[in-house]
Chains A and B, each alone.
Chain A
């Protein structure tokens, strides 16, 4: 599972970083109880599935699940195709528009769903079994599947940003627990810098990674209900100023303008910085880093709070069905997605890969409950904030990334940078919103 934002802007770097991890072997579980259909054996179809997860790290576990699915539905053949995350969005759109070559089922990043749905590339799932037990899904990931009052997807996994920290460095600096506010972060970072030879904090210079600062002050990018651009609101200025101050005061390292994400991860894995803001998708990477000291050394906490609250953007992936799929395959597709997103399947993925389930019931299953990483991320999820799920959302981050570089790397005026951002939203992203 990957953060949308990182790959969106730094596509290929992300891919390189991705290739770094290897799965540990998880235990096998007995959860092959899929959805109970009247007669699963009578279903006969061939379905293509584009999986955008990391083929080396995550792919095998998904293929394992397909095998389990086939034990119940022997006549549904799943044509599993691994498609690189960075390419999948454009590839799917091109194929769907050409009406040939698109997969029947796609693993779509949460922000893609409203975009694809608005273009008519997806089946609405109203009235199918897939839209039945929506109450069991966590509300924030579930909200990503809705567009224009209809459901277009089933949440596969979810994620959010949290604070990842190095326990050994904390101990060396005499700090017992993760900071809960940005002010505490500042003092903690300084203490670490003074007492160890590592730096305190690294803030990635990317728009997505500044959202916790913005949400923390109660800000957001746009107000979808009021159709208003609020990216340059006072709350946002205050929030981004906190981030800028952390860098300017030396509490946080100054990020490079290019490849800040890769630098952040390398430094963290080599124990040269004690705190980063990042998501669960990097846990495996950190676990396998030779110099980090294993997952026991990794502390996970919710993002620190601003003056209003602690909030981080929600990410993750949804299963969606291509609207060009022949109707005859509908039952098979419903059965497949139903199986893949069942609580048992999610628990299996959680144990194997550390992916966070989207079903509330999955968190009650033993394998998930006893998993220290997942239980550490549970509070992180509770502070997850839904992003504006509109088709234009894909364009929000270009201007926001620019702003992040200007503010954090070039120390430019926060208000001015955010004003430019707002102007660009108005002229290029959501022209019918008021500024």
Chain B
């Protein structure tokens, strides 16, 4: 952040860090000079680097390392000990202690020998895309409605933000019950109107549908609030000017509102994608992966694979690295696409 500000602020003299080309041959090194001149900045950054190192980089690197081993709950010890109550302990070396296995975990997961990676992957993809599209679409619609003077606007806003204030697992239980095949509201309503009740969880698509509905309900408020904020930041002069030029309401929306929202939209879509991709509780609690694991997404599938029964740390770490890689590739591609369109981000 700090360097960004420095770079952008034209009033400040350019710092030594950027070092212009003609100076780069000077031997006392820019690092040294920068340290001499900006030692206080380095000192200020140090705690952040240390905290990031401890909280982010160390666990990340350790996770990557574990994913290259076969570490699990039962082979993590070098010796197996039996303690007898009131007397003695016998220890013997663990015959199959954990070891480095290279990329074994990755090949086993990606070839489908363990778990059902590709099925989970496609479900995750469909789940993420559908949810984010609806989050954004409905959020935008509601934000537009609320971005005007109308009676009781505050009340609407509060009501619409309510789903966001409800913990995800409560949402999950509520929707799961609404969709209950025998006692749920939806089927009762269908039956009163003479339709056949739907076996929501017996088919993968209707089952996924229930989870998507729940997640849309949960995710719209965030989009709405973010986009509403974005809209209110659009200078009203732009609208006035457009009006003067005779632009209709629809034209103003397409040509003023949407372009003005772009910086916000891009960020919330990226965030929304990452959150939905990793939205554990809704899938785990609404569909429970039913029917027969067909609505499992990557994170819930990985959880079951790694944490049911004897815990498999290396497998869990491998899933973690794979999921991280997918999201990283997505984020980088996304950023690049935006940059190509001239978005400063």
Contact = CB atoms under 8 A, between A and B. Distances in A.
A20 interface: no
Interface string B89-112: 000000000000000000010000
Interface in A261-284: 263, 266-267
A321 B85 CA distance: 8
A77 interface: no
Main secondary structure of the interface of B (DSSP, over half): loop
Given A119-B74, A334-B86, A410-B291, A395 B181 contact: no
Contacts of A402: 292-293
Contacts of B87: 127
Nearest to A396: B309
B201 A256 contact: yes
Interface stretch (B32-40, B157-165, B282-290, B316-324): B282-290
Contacts of A410: 202, 291-292
Interface stretch (B49-57, B75-83, B188-196): B75-83
A266 B182 CA distance: 10
A115 B288 contact: no
Given A256-B181, A258-B181, A394-B310, A126 B84 contact: yes
Most buried by A among B84, B200, B287: B84
A327 interface: yes
Interface size on A, as a range, is 35 or more
Contact of B82 (A8, A124, A267, A398): A124
Contacts of A90: 307
A256 B202 contact: yes
Nearest to B113: A427
B207 interface: yes
A119 B73 contact: yes
B83 A323 contact: yes
A394 B309 contact: yes
B176 interface: yes
A289 interface: no
B308 interface: yes
Most buried by A among B85, B201, B293: B85
Given A259-B180, A405-B291, A123 B309 contact: no
Nearest to A120: B81
Most buried by B among A257, A321, A402, A429: A257
Nearest to B287: A258
Given A391-B310, A394-B308, A406-B291, A123 B85 contact: yes
B83 A409 contact: no
Contacts of A119: 73-74, 310
Most buried by A among B87, B113, B176, B182: B182
B288 to A, nearest CB: 6
Contacts of B201: 256-258
A8 B80 CA distance: 27
Interface in B173-206: 173, 176, 180-183, 199-202
B308 A395 contact: yes
B86 to A, nearest CB: 4
Contacts of B82: 120, 124, 150
Nearest to A395: B309
A393 B84 contact: no
A118 B74 contact: yes
Contacts of B180: 256, 258-259, 263
Contacts of A330: 85-86
A429 B180 CA distance: 32
Interface in A397-435: 398, 402-403, 405-406, 409-410, 427-429
B86 A128 contact: yes
Contacts of A180: none
Interface in A295-341: 321, 323, 327, 330-331, 333-334
Contacts of B81: 120, 323
Contacts of A8: 308
Contacts of B266: none
Contact of B310 (A115, A254, A333, A409): A115
A257 B73 contact: no
B311 interface: yes
Interface string A160-193: 0000000000000000000000000000000000
Interface string B288-331: 10111100000000001101111100000000000000000000
Interface string B258-293: 000000000000000000000000000101101111
The 3 tightest CB contacts between A and B, nearest first, are: A394-B309, A395-B309, A258-B201
Interface of B: 73-74, 77, 80-87, 108, 113-115, 173, 176, 180-183, 199-202, 207, 285, 287-288, 290-293, 304-305, 307-311
9 contacts: A12-B173, A256-B182, A258-B180, A258-B290, A266-B182, A394-B308, A394-B309, A394-B310, A428-B115
Given A256-B180, A256-B201, A257-B199, 5 more contacts: A124-B85, A127-B87, A256-B182, A393-B309, A405-B292
Interface of A: 8-10, 12, 90, 93, 97, 115, 118-120, 123-128, 130, 150, 254, 256-259, 263, 266-267, 321, 323, 327, 330-331, 333-334, 391-395, 398, 402-403, 405-406, 409-410, 427-429
